[in-house]
Structure 1
Amino acid sequence: MTGFGPFPGVDENASERFVPKLAHLAARRFSAHRVVARILPTEWERGPARLATLYQRERPKLVLHFGVSANASSYVVETRARNTCAQREDATGALPSDTVLARNGPETRDVALPAADIVARLAALRIPATTSDDAGSYLCNAVLYRSLELAEEQDIDGVGFFHIPRVIPPALLKSKTERREMRFDWGSALLGGLEIVRTCLGRPPPSRRHVKFL
């Protein structure tokens, strides 16, 4: 699992806090699997390069990326990365060296994870989620594109990217009535993250009796 550090306009990146918390819970819930959490620098050069090093070192079977978006009010399941990058400064103030991510690469790369199933299973838990076929043109898209490229080289299908809101409100104690309403807070975000992992691992959804609201 990866998140991102700060970048211009976002002094505190929610994914930097979210990913270690989710990884800790996932390691306990899915103890048969080794869970690794890393925070990528939000930089045009070092972000994708760090990701390539992680692929080589960890040889992953499932790779889940998380990043923030000003347009997200809940989980946004990205389904496609585009071979483009905006002339926008990264965390160091640097601009990308080109207008595309890979000069000879395909225009788009599609995600193979079951996006519709993920959204449906989150909805069953009263956790809002949508799909998107446009991951933007900043570092989130760049990392997803590079990750799909690296996964193709290693014959891995399990790569996904999930946008979360820039600000996640604290979890509230919910009454039975309130739980009928969809709300995205730290509790539902982590519960949803576990369900994303469970879905990507091909495991059936939990019984409603065994769902613990975090």
Structure 2
Amino acid sequence: MRPRDTILLTGFGPFPGVADNASQRFVPKLAHLAARRFSAHRVVARILPTDWERAPARLHDLYTRERPKLVLHFGVSPSASSYVIERVAHNTRKAAEDAAGALPRDGVVVRGGPDTLAARIPVEDVRERLDALGVPAVTSDDAGSYLCNALLYRSLIYAEQIAAPEAVGFFHIPQQIQPALLKSQAEPGVARFDWGTALIGGLEIIRTCLGRPPPSRRHVKNR
């Protein structure tokens, strides 16, 4: 029997100023749904420490052990009110403390590395398909200079050196995800990022990155 391809989903733990990281709760929920929806694949969910040294080391181990075919990272941003689809990672790190109180050893992610690396996902297709489902999303060329950006940069490097995933991307989400509303409570025509839309959107992100067609129209009503 042919082994199942692996989908790797990661989130982050707490860090200074964010005691409860929404991605730490979001990723396991998404993985649970994805394992049922994409049963031909093996879904692996891991929460990485928000640590300059340990996060890339853990990710390196995951690439080596899992040889994933799809890698999607999630993290929070104080400015996000929707999905923020990151287009690029920058070879830069700011002098900010991680969860262990440590500063980065260098101002760049990889010495001698390119200034930027493009995410390996169909960014516009993802945004358009989220929009079609009524899931708020925007694109971004600036993933910041903290752990989120550094992890995406490292992930793209590992994708070249260790495995060959079909897609590698990073998505910022709001620091707080609102409870899902009943259909009778939702305001018509207003896209709202809550647990319902977040998880619907997460499944659609995976579906798009796997190259699968969008859901049929009957599943996209009452948006």
Both proteins in one fold, TM over 0.5:
yes
Q: Which residue of 2 aligns with 1:7?
A: 15
Alpha-carbon deviation of 1:211?
A: 4.9
Q: Contact 2:51–2:100 at 8 Å: present in 1 too?
A: yes
- Following superposition, the deviation at residue 207 of structure 1 comes to 1.2
Q: TM-score, normalised by structure 2?
A: 0.92
Aligned to 2:114: 106
How far is the alpha carbon of 1:212 from its aligned partner? 9.1
Report the AA paired with residue 195 of structure 1.
E
Structure 2: gaps of 5 or more residues: 1-8
Does residue 85 (structure 1) correspond to residue 81 (structure 2)? The answer is no
Give runs of aligned pairs for residues 1-214 of structure 1, distance below 5 A. Answer: 1-153=9-161, 154-175=163-184, 178-211=187-220
TM-score (norm 1): 0.96
- The offset of 1:176, in angstroms, is 9.0
Paired letter, 2:15? F
The separation in 2 between residues aligned to 1:152 and 1:39, in whole angstroms, is 23
Which consecutive residues of structure 1, in runs of 5 or more, have no partner in the other structure? none
Matched residue of 1:131: which SS?
Answer: strand
Distance 1:160 1:211 in 2: 25
AA in 2 matched with 1:165: P
Q: Equivalent pairs: percent with the same residue?
A: 71
Cα distance in 2 for partners of 1:211, 1:156 equals 29
Give the CA RMSD over aligned residues: 1.5
Q: Relative to structure 2, which stretch is displaced further, 57-66 or 172-181?
A: 172-181
